[in-house]
Structure formats: C-alpha cells, structure tokens
Structure 1
Amino acid sequence: MNTFYDVQKLLQKFGIIIYFKDEKNTLAMMDEELKALHDAMLIDHQTFIQARLIINQRRMNKL
C-alpha cells in the first residue's frame, strides 16, 4: 500500500466508502474506520500502520 487511493480501495473491500466535502473530515473518518477494522482484527497491524501513515502524510500536505 503506497497511495491514498490504495487506502480507499482497502476500505472499499469492507464496503466502506467515505466522502465529505471537507477533506479534513474525510481523512478523520477514514482514520476512525481504520481503527475500527484494526480493533476488530480485520486488518493486520502492518496494514493499519501503513494506511494511517498515508492518511497523516496527506493531512500534512494539506496544511
């Protein structure tokens, strides 16, 4: 997983599609959904960390 699109595709595998007009809200909701998937042990720890890293990088680029 290397791109924001890859994170979106990961969430789509679980039927999760997130879009808000404000991208900050979109990123926050994606982060919450990733946490829920990780807590439910539906994604492994490495995937969780990589996806959160990509989301955080996108947040930093939007500042």
Structure 2
Amino acid sequence: MRTMTDVRALLKRFGTIIYTGDELGDLDLMEDELAELHHWGMIETSEYMAALRVIRRRRSELTG
C-alpha cells in the first residue's frame, strides 16, 4: 500500500467511501474506519499499519 488511492480501495472493499470535502477530516475518518476494521479482525495488522503510514504521510504533506 503506497498511495491514498490504495487506502480508498481498501476501504471500498468494505463498502466505505469517505469524502466530505475536508481532506484533513477525511483522513481522520479513514483512520477511525481502519481502526474499526482492524479491531474486528477484518484486515490484518500489516495492512492496517501500511494504510496508517500512507494516511499520516498525507496529513504531514497537508499540514507541512
């Protein structure tokens, strides 16, 4: 997992599409959704951690 497109595709596999128009807010919602998927055992730890890295990198780019 390398891009936000990959993260969105992962979430879409579970029927989750997040777009509010506020990119930072979207990143928060994506993190929350990923945490829930991981908590319930729907995604593996490695997938969860990779997605978080992508999200946190994007947040860093936006807040610079």
Partner of 1:8: 8
Separation of aligned partners in 1, 2:6 and 2:21: 20
Q: Hey, what does 1:41 align to over in structure 2?
A: 41
Matched residue count: 63
What SS is found at the alignment partner of 2:43?
Answer: coil
In the TM superposition, what are the counterparts of 1:14-29 in structure 2 within 5 Å? Answer: 14-29=14-29
Letter in 2 for 1:3: T
How far is 1:55 from its partner?
Answer: 0.1
Q: TM-score, normalised by structure 1?
A: 0.98
Structure 2 match to 1:54: 54
* Over 4 Å off, 4+ runs: none
CA distance in 1, matches of 2:53, 2:20: 20
Structure 1, gaps ≥5 residues long: none
1:4-61: CA deviation from partner (whole Å, max 9, x where unpaired): 1000000000000000111111000000000000000000000000000000000000
Equivalents in 2 of 1:29, 1:53: separation in Å? 15
